[in-house]
Amino acid sequence: MRAQLLSLTAVFVLSFIAEKCRQLVGEESAARSKTERFTFINCFDMSYGTIGCLLKELVKIYLYYIRATYVHKVRNEATKEAVQENLSKGQSIEDAVKIGQQLGNAAAKRASLQAKHIMGPMVSSGWDFFEAIYVGGTLAEAIIRSIGTLLGSYIGGMIGEGKTSWLGFLLGSQFGSWIGGRLGLMLHDVGIGLQYLHQIMKTKNDRESNSLLLVPS
């Protein structure tokens, strides 16, 4: 409970600092993907939006194909191994095959969940990277946001799965990806704000140094 309160407090503090940094540098220099969003309508702009949507679907289809191939391989290997093991124990062929199929299906289910654990966060992270670039964000913003989304998806998925199995993983990864992306944008704005303050201080020191040089000795 204490750790949760500390985490919540840290998020609120980070959000407050990020908002002040956005006000300091202005909306044009702050994270663009916080206010500008990629919507379904952008898929029909016959430009980068259309290309991005097509690539996203192609990547999803390819990943689904990889998952199906991987799950099929795991099922066959687990079934074959179980059948051979049960036959060596003296069971009949029918019983060995039946048990082998059951174990193979169980192994396939676990493999499918493991593949989802990898695929979901990767797709979410890649899409957030594209969205940030599409709406006019910088490369740094896109990278920080995508990393936040990736980590948030993994952490949220693991926490959710520990609570309510596969449904918890689905909800946790979705919520975690959103939180992670937002935290990434906050960190980006804080970094931009600190860079802006550093530039101001540097300019001020340069002016003071030039003023001292101009003063006659």
Please report, for the chain, the start and end positions of each structural domain, with discontinuous segments joined by +: 41-122, 137-209
pLDDT in tens, 187-208: 999 998 999 888 888 888 777 7
pLDDT digits (tens, 9 = 90+) for 154-168: 888 888 877 776 677
The per-residue pLDDT for 63 is: 81
N residues, the chain: 217
Helices (H), the chain: 2-25, 48-88, 93-134, 139-214
> What is the percentage of the chain residues whose pLDDT exceeds 70?
94
Query: How many angstroms separate the CA atoms of 95 and 189, rounded?
Result: 63
